[in-house]
């Protein structure tokens, strides 16, 4: 596989590269140690020249700085805009004290979209994400507003990020029956150390033919191998965020990944990225970079294909405990229903 081995997003004709350039690290960030504008432009140049065509940002990244940096890049490279798939998000409140400046209400979405278009220096967004579920706004208001923006030509496709499974199913069904723009993709946290989306979100996405786009496939850097049993704090910026991934199971997983990496002549990080990329339903995986070296290292992951044995070992090692009823439906219900037979490749577990 190469970066230019494009895939379609869910049940759409939108073609994207198998890796998506995430830009949360573009611009000043005391937490993430963000890349300066010149470095960010170099990162974009390298990614696009390698065949990548998909870039992801959000109105809230750096208080709008990430979008502005992408906008300055597009202004300096005007011929590239229509060849790129640019995704951004709404939900982030950039105006403290104003309750209508964030979330998913109609007023908020329109205001946030206009701000993103202005910062990006473009008149349309290819994929517009709800950054996270808004408990205060009816789903039909969110979906109707997004459909309006598609019809106006300001948005091409819509997606949901960090939404519960029931909300995804509701939004997808509502859009289908009302003739609104469909949910094209889900953006979800997914890695060898975070697999609970397999309980509800992945099945919902596969049922509705929605593309799955994982973020944090390296678990905040833990799956690069830089965190060890002897050094739990290799850098100050992300350590607090990474700490929730770090436990003995993570180190056992890293030991196995190191073995598989040696067998495949690659790095631990590439094993993590390849595993996510090869999982059922995954369309394009987000990678982030603060430096060109980080980007180039991540790009080599598209050359890595894990064999069936390696995939099985990693999958078994990191099998998650899923919320009810997922565990029961995968075990007891299969035994109860199938009478010891195999149906559609599903074999009852031994009890």
Please report, in tens digits, the pLDDT of each residue of the chain (351 residues total). 889 999 999 999 999 999 999 999 999 765 656 889 999 999 999 999 999 999 999 999 999 999 999 999 999 999 999 999 999 999 999 999 999 999 999 999 999 999 999 999 999 999 999 999 999 999 999 999 999 999 999 999 999 999 999 999 999 999 999 999 999 999 999 999 999 999 999 999 999 999 999 999 999 899 998 878 876 666 655 666 677 788 889 999 999 999 999 999 999 999 999 999 999 999 999 999 999 999 999 999 999 999 999 999 999 999 999 999 998 998 999 999 999 999 999 999 886
Helices (H) and strands (E) in the chain, counts: 13, 10
| Domains, the chain, with CATH or none | 7-320 (3.20.20.100), 324-351 (no CATH)
61 is known as an active-site residue: yes
Give the CA distances from residue 313 to residues 50, 100, 192, 268, in Å, rounded to whole numbers and listed in that order.
31, 48, 11, 14
Cβ-contact 30, 51 below 8 angstroms = no
**Chain-centroid distance, C-alpha 249:** 23
Which is catalytic among the residues 6, 61, 73, 324? 61
Query: How is residue 144 written in tokens?
Result: 């109707």
Cβ-contact 304, 272 below 8 angstroms = no
Residues 184, 166: Cα–Cα separation, whole Å: 16
């Amino acid at each position: 596989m190469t970066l230019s081995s494009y895939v379609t997003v869910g049940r759409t004709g939108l073609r994207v590269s198998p890796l998506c350039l995430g830009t949360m690290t573009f611009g000043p960030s005391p937490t993430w140690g963000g890349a300066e504008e010149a470095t960010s432009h170099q990162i974009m140049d390298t990614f696009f020249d390698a065949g990548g065509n998909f870039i992801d940002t959000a109105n809230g990244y750096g208080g709008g700085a990430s979008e502005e940096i992408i906008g300055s890049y597009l202004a300096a490279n005007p011929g590239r805009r229509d060849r790129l798939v640019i995704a951004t998000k709404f939900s982030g409140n950039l105006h403290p004290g104003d309750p209508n400046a964030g979330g998913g209400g109609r007023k908020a979405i329109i205001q946030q979209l206009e701000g993103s278009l202005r910062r990006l220096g473009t008149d349309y967004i290819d994929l517009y994400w709800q950054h996270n579920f808004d408990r205060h706004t009816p789903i039909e208001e969110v979906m109707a507003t997004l459909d309006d923006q598609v019809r106006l030509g300001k948005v091409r496709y819509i997606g949901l990020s960090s939404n519960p499974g029931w909300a995804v199913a509701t939004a997808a069904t509502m859009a289908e029956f009302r003739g609104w723009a469909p949910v094209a993709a889900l953006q979800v946290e997914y890695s060898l150390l975070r697999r609970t989306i397999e309980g509800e979100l992945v099945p919902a996405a596969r049922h509705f033919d929605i593309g799955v786009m994982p973020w944090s496939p390296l678990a905040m850097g833990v799956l690069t191998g830089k965190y060890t049993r002897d050094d739990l704090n290799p850098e100050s910026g992300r350590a607090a965020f990474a700490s929730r991934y770090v436990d003995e199971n993570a180190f056992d997983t890293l030991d196995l990944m190191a073995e598989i990496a040696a067998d495949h002549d690659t790095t631990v990080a590439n094993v993590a990225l390849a595993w996510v990329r090869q999982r059922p339903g995954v369309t394009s995986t987000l990678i982030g970079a603060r430096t060109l070296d980080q980007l180039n290292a991540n790009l080599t992951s598209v050359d890595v294909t894990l064999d069936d044995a390696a995939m099985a070992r990693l999958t078994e090692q990191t099998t998650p405990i899923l919320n009810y009823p997922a565990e029961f439906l995968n075990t007891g219900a299969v035994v109860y229903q199938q009478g010891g037979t195999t149906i559609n490749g599903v074999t009852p577990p031994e009890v």
